[in-house]
Structure 1
């Protein structure tokens, strides 16, 4: 195992976190096993995080802050660490997403990332991950914290009805996921519409896209292809995306009708067998 002293704390947010964890632990006169006992984990896990072999979670960070009396230091650092673990091409989008005042998204294949349950995200990400996807799932869950702010961004999500039927992770995972969508249907800052099959051809048969507006920056449109994502503030592209989104909203079920459709699919397709 690498010695933390050989790591450069300035090399990455993860290396800084590991170095700071070791420094604070030793300042308290604790061994790795002793700290592990206090925060209900193994000393091995503490050592792996100190040497960047493991990615810390928010729960781990909060426990460390409580144990070491570090006044939220690690709870603040972990967000930066998790964001740094996102794919390089996705990080600029995550940065802008965190700053957005208004987010509007159309999703043709899967539930919008900010609305996914942990189990849904894990099942969705696992096929493309050669190793344990825990760190990427944790990073996605961390992104969702913007919806928990005192003043979160106003968000509007249009989901193709196919999203409700595409089984990700099995019936139990889907039932929980659709229930989460229903829970958000009454959320003050979130609106969810379903684009029904009966809408037929529509304004975005080309695929999913997301628009973002900011208090002090130009509007942005984000799209993804097979291997990466693309952001643009080109006014013509933004204008075209806004027009398409307006057409999608007009073709979609109302917010109330969408909740009823989600509920119907949940009961008919993913009924609790017990």
Structure 2
């Protein structure tokens, strides 16, 4: 559209998807995302555009458009604004997008949380804490209280329950392969007291032993400075889409889909995996650390 200024596509739209999702009939009243998908498709078809043609106008692939129309992907605010400009629909899609993006988890993590449910494999690195999908309730509560010391107990319990609900992903028949690398510091930082740590590390070891689709490694202090010194990183692979990376700090996170940046994270993660202890040695260290928290030196 003449005179329209589009945002940089590299910041919000992946370059390509391998498989074009086939159009499907949605009940627009099922949920806000389905309503958004139906409205986007209605406006696109009224403009006489195919998914590929619309994708060309907003600098992404037609299959990415199809992900929104089929309600397989959460809509994006920036893209919705561009759609509204292109279709002359005011703020219609932007408003629907805000409804469709409501989530129980933090807004900065919502897209990544959804992608984890679709991933065929999840690879995580954590420098100071046990990854969220493998946390116990007491450990998650202690972390949340430490991060939000002035928050009410009801809000904290809501966050803890959401985190525990997310862990049910590992019980799904289509659960992804989960490969985690935790720095040895995560085993030594006292979170919630010795009893909480003993329970958490025992749980981590039991999950590693009992679930064939979970592998845990420990990056020891002796390995020196790791590739991700102070960052938690999650790499996700899919059967029908390019890989993505999510990075997180204490109060924010970022989803990364640009292929060259994802490749950089992949290379760094492989280096961390090579420097980590073997799964067998890692399990022994986790169990030893759990036992340490039951001794007199750690009891509190």
How does the TM-score come out when normalised to structure 2? 0.61
CA contact (8 A) 2:182 2:217 kept: yes
RMSD: 2.3
Q: How does 1:140-219 map to 2 (within 5 A)?
A: 140-186=163-209, 187-219=211-243
1:87 corresponds to: 106
Partner of 2:108, secondary structure, is coil
Aligned residue number for residue 247 of structure 2: 223
Question: Aligned to 1:106, what secondary structure does the other structure show?
Answer: strand
The 1:211/1:11 distance shift into structure 2, 3 A limit, reads: closer
How far is 1:166 from its partner?
Answer: 0.6
What displacement does 1:152 show? 0.8
SS at structure 2 position matched to 1:271: coil
What are the superposed Cα offsets for residues 60-104 of structure 1, whole Å, 9 maximum, x if unpaired?
Answer: xxxxxxxxxxxxxxxxxxxxxxx8222222211111111111000
Alignment partner of 1:130 is 2:154? no
C-alpha separation between the residues in 1 aligned to 2:226 and 2:265? 13
1:135 Cα deviation after fit: 0.9
Q: 2:279 aligns with which of 242, 252, 255?
A: 255
State whether residues 174 and 270 of structure 1, in contact with CA within 8 Å, keep that contact through their aligned partners in structure 2: no
Secondary structure at 1:147 match in 2: helix
Distance in 1 (CA, whole Å) between partners of 2:31 and 2:286 is 46
1:90 and 1:229 in contact (8 A); partners too:
yes
How many residue pairs get aligned? The number is: 196
In structure 1, the partner of 2:53 is: none
Q: What does the per-residue CA deviation read over 1:178-222, in whole Å, with 9 as the maximum and x for residues that have no partner?
A: 001110222200000000011112322242211001111211011
List alignment gaps of at least 5 residues for structure 2.
Answer: 1-29, 33-101
| 1:224 Cα offset (Å) | 1.7
Q: Which runs of 5+ in 1 are unaligned?
A: 1-9, 13-82
Q: Which has the higher relative contact order, 1 or 2, with Cα contacts under 8 A spaced 6 or more apart? A: 2
**In structure 2, what is the Cα distance between the partners aligned to 1:250 and 1:87?**
32
Which whole-Å deviations, capped at 9, do the CAs of 1:150-200 have from their partners, x for residues lacking one? 231001000000000011111111000000111022220000000001111
TM-score normalised by length of structure 1: 0.67
